[in-house]
């Protein structure tokens, strides 16, 4: 281990290799055979378990727990990448489970791979370059994000889900395991089917668990009936929703999401 001054409350295993330039917050734990690069910043109370590699310009927020055999901040799997200085950011109090890989950004994609706070990234997940993951997100085992994917707050991506480049996963959505995603996933939706992904309506259980009022849920449910169950096409359904009196903030969010979609949405 390279020597460096650290707060007395921080524990670094003798077999760990920690750069003298790395910034290590108070109360951190760095386990056996961990490698911490020169440009890494760990907030207070971060735990990095055995055999992890954290490299590049990487910042990990307070009290995040990185489980064994995780790789964070290494160069992206992008043939255009030429060693530019790009970044990885991870928020506070997230849990990153075994064998997860998170690659740093590329100049062409904004230069940052970002994960919010309070998220659970389960074993074998891959998060590619320039992805943007919100807070309170759950990514189940072996879900795989190609580059430039956006996952909004409180979304749940099921196990073994491959997600195409530039796809957006809307807030509060639930995606069933094994679903292949090549188009955008609607906010508040329940989306599944391995062969032909489709929206099966509103993620009512998830919204109830997150404390959505009955009025909010009713307005979202009404919007989904117009989008998915009426004989209107998407443009007609949006005009219908925008013409209604007081559709609610959630429905406004749903409308904006669809209007801003570049890949098209799953219906």
Domain harbouring 254, CATH code: 1.20.1180.10
pLDDT score recorded for residue 7: 53
Torsion, Cα of 179, 185, 187, 189 (10° steps): -40
Indicate which residue of 39, 49, 55, 130 is catalytic: 130
Mean of pLDDT over the chain: 95
Q: Quickly state the pLDDT bin for 196 (edges 50, 70, 90).
A: confident
Indicate which residue of 51, 129, 148, 172 is catalytic: 129
128 with 224, same domain: the answer is no
Is 267 inside a domain boundary? no
Is 130 marked active-site? Answer: yes
Q: Quickly state the pLDDT bin for 3 (edges 50, 70, 90).
A: very low
Model confidence over 72-83: pLDDT tens digits?
999 999 999 999
219 with 141, same domain: the answer is no
pLDDT score recorded for residue 8: 59
Identify the domain boundary among 122, 148, 174: 148
Indicate which residue of 91, 105, 116, 147 is catalytic: 147
Q: How many domains does the chain have?
A: 2
Model confidence over 140-165: pLDDT tens digits?
999 999 999 999 999 999 999 999 99
Q: Domain of 235?
A: 208-259
3-class SS at 175? strand
Residue 2, pLDDT > 80, answer: no
Is 136 marked active-site? Answer: no
Which conformational region is residue 89 in: left (phi greater than 0), alpha (psi within -120 to 50 degrees), or beta?
beta
């Amino acid at each position: 281990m390279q020597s460096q001054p650290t707060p007395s409350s921080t524990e670094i295993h003798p077999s760990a290799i920690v750069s003298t330039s790395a910034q290590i917050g108070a109360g951190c734990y760095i386990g056996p055979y961990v490698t911490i690069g020169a440009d890494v910043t760990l907030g207070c109370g971060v735990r990095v378990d055995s055999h992890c590699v954290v490299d590049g310009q990487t910042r990990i927020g307070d009290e995040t727990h990185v489980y064994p055999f995780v790789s964070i901040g290494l160069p992206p799997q992008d043939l255009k990448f030429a060693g530019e200085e790009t970044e990885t950011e991870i928020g506070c109090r997230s849990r990153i489970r075994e064998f997860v890989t998170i690659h740093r950004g590329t100049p062409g994609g904004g230069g940052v791979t970002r994960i919010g706070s309070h998220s659970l990234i389960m074993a074998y997940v891959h998060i590619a370059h320039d992805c943007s993951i919100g807070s309170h997100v759950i990514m189940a085992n072996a879900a795989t994000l190609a580059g430039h994917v956006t996952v909004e707050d409180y979304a749940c991506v099921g196990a073994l889900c491959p997600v195409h480049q530039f796809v957006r996963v809307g807030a509060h959505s639930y995606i069933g395991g094994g679903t292949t995603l090549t188009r955008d996933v609607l906010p508040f939706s329940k989306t599944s089917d391995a062969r032909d992904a489709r929206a099966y309506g509103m993620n009512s259980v998830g919204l109830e668990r997150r404390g959505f009022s009955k009025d909010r849920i009713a307005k979202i449910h009404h919007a989904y009936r117009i989008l998915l169950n009426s004989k209107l096409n998407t443009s007609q359904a949006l005009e219908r929703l925008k013409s209604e009196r007081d559709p609610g903030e959630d429905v406004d969010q749903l409308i904006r999401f669809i209007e801003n979609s570049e890949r098209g949405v799953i219906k």
